[in-house]
C-alpha cells in the first residue's frame, strides 16, 4: 500500500441558509435542491480518482452530501465523525450580516474574520479538524478517503496543516490534501490544481 494517505475534503452542498448568507454552524440545516445537484456534480470530479470510502460530519447537510456522493461512486459511508462538524457559532447562528451580528464580533483568529461572543474559537476548530485527519491517517495509512464536512472546518484545518492562508471553501468543491512522512501538501483547492511553488509540504 502507498505511504501517502490522500483526502478529498468536500464541503456540503448548498442550503437555504447558505443562499440567504445566514451563519449555520451547529444548526442542522438540510440541503436544498441546488445543494443536491452540487453533490451530484461533485461525483464527476471525484470519479477521476480512485477512492476507498467516505466519512462525513453527522450534520444532515454533510451527511446527505456524503450519501449522494457515495451512491454515485459505488462507495460506502463508513462513519459519521462528530469532530468534523462545523464551527459552533453560538448566538451568531441564524444571523446575516448587519448591526446585530456586528455587535457579537470579536477580533483575532488566523482567517482575519475573528470570532463571535459565545462561539467556538478558530484555534479549537482547527485543532479538532486536523486531529480527525491525523487519526484517519493513523488508522488507514495509504488509504484514499473522501471527507464531507463544512466550509470553515475545512478551511481552518487546511490552514493548521499547511501553516498558510487558504481561500474560502466553496460548496461541494474538490480539495485534495495528501499526507506523507514529510508532512501535508495541498494538491487541489476549490477544484483547481495548486502549484507546488504556492503551497509547500509542511511537517505533520
Residues with a catalytic annotation lie at: 12, 86
Distance CA 159, CA 157 (A): 5
Euclidean distance between CA atoms 64 and 196, whole angstroms: 33
Rounded Cα gap, residues 196 and 80, in angstroms? 32
First to last CA, the chain: 20
Contact 30, 64 (CB under 8 A): yes
Give strand ranges (E) for 92-142.
105-106, 115-116
Let me know: does 180 contact 202? Beta carbons within 8 Å: no
Amino acid at each position: 500500500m502507498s505511504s501517502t494517505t490522500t483526502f478529498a475534503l468536500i464541503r456540503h452542498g448548498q442550503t437555504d441558509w447558505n443562499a440567504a448568507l445566514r451563519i449555520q454552524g451547529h444548526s442542522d440545516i438540510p440541503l436544498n435542491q441546488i445543494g443536491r445537484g452540487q453533490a451530484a456534480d461533485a461525483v464527476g470530479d471525484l470519479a477521476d480518482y480512485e477512492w476507498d470510502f467516505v466519512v462525513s460530519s453527522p450534520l444532515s447537510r454533510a451527511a446527505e452530501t456524503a450519501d449522494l456522493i457515495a451512491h454515485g461512486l459505488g462507495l460506502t459511508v463508513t462513519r459519521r465523525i462528530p469532530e468534523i462538524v462545523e464551527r459552533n457559532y453560538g448566538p451568531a447562528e441564524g444571523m446575516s450580516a448587519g448591526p446585530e451580528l456586528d455587535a457579537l464580533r470579536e477580533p483575532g483568529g488566523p482567517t482575519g474574520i475573528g470570532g463571535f461572543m459565545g462561539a467556538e474559537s478558530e484555534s479549537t476548530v482547527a485543532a479538532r479538524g486536523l486531529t480527525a485527519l491525523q487519526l484517519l491517517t493513523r488508522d488507514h495509512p495509504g488509504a484514499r478517503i473522501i471527507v464531507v464536512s463544512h466550509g470553515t472546518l475545512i478551511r481552518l484545518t487546511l490552514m493548521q496543516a499547511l501553516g498558510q492562508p487558504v481561500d474560502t471553501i466553496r460548496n461541494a468543491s474538490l480539495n485534495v490534501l495528501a499526507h506523507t512522512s514529510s508532512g501535508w501538501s495541498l494538491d487541489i483547492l476549490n477544484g483547481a490544481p495548486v502549484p507546488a511553488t504556492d503551497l509547500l509540504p509542511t511537517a505533520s
